[in-house]
Amino acid sequence: MEDFLIEILSTFGYPVRRQGSFLEDEVYPESFFTFWNNASNAESIYDNKENAILHEYDVNFYSTDIEKVYDVLRKAKKKLRQNGFDVWGDGYDVASDESTHSGRGLNVSYFENLQEE
C-alpha cells in the first residue's frame, strides 16, 4: 500500500520520504512529502478469513514556502480522494526539525479489499 501512496504523491514532483528517514547530515529539499503508517488493521473478518485491511497514514508536506504548504497539501488531498483514499478536513500543523521549513499534515485511510488467490 505504501507504494501506491508514494506513487500518487510523487505525481506532484516533490520527494516522498518516510517520516523521520532523513539522515542527520542530509539537507532537506526545499519542499517534500513525508508519510507514516499509523495502522493496517484487519477489517471484515468472517469465515476465519481476513477480507479487508484498513490502512491509516499521516501524510505531511513541508516547504520553505508557507503558501505552498497549504496549496500543495490541498491538491494532494484531492488527488488522494480521486484514487480511493478517505481524506477529510483541511489538515493540521506539524513540527519541523528545520527552522526554514513549515509543515502541514492530513490523516488519510484506504480500505483494501483482499481477493482470494
Q: What percent of the chain has pLDDT over 70?
A: 98
Mean pLDDT of the chain: 93
Question: Which amino acid, 82?
Answer: Q
* pLDDT tens, residue by residue, 68-88: 999 999 999 999 999 999 999
Question: Distance between CA 95 and CA 2 in Å, rounded?
Answer: 22
Question: What does the pLDDT read at residue 60?
Answer: 97
CATH of the domain at 101: 3.30.2000.10
* pLDDT tens, residue by residue, 7-42: 999 999 999 999 988 888 888 999 999 999 999 998
Q: What is the pTM of this model?
A: 0.91
Question: What does the pLDDT read at residue 49?
Answer: 83
Question: What does the pLDDT read at residue 116?
Answer: 57
Intra-chain end-to-end CA distance of the chain, in Å: 18
Tally of structural domains, the chain: 1
Q: Can you give the residue range of the structural domain that contains 54? A: 2-20+29-113
Residue with the bigger pLDDT between 117 and 46: it is: 46
Per-residue confidence band for 117, with pLDDT thresholds at 50, 70 and 90? very low
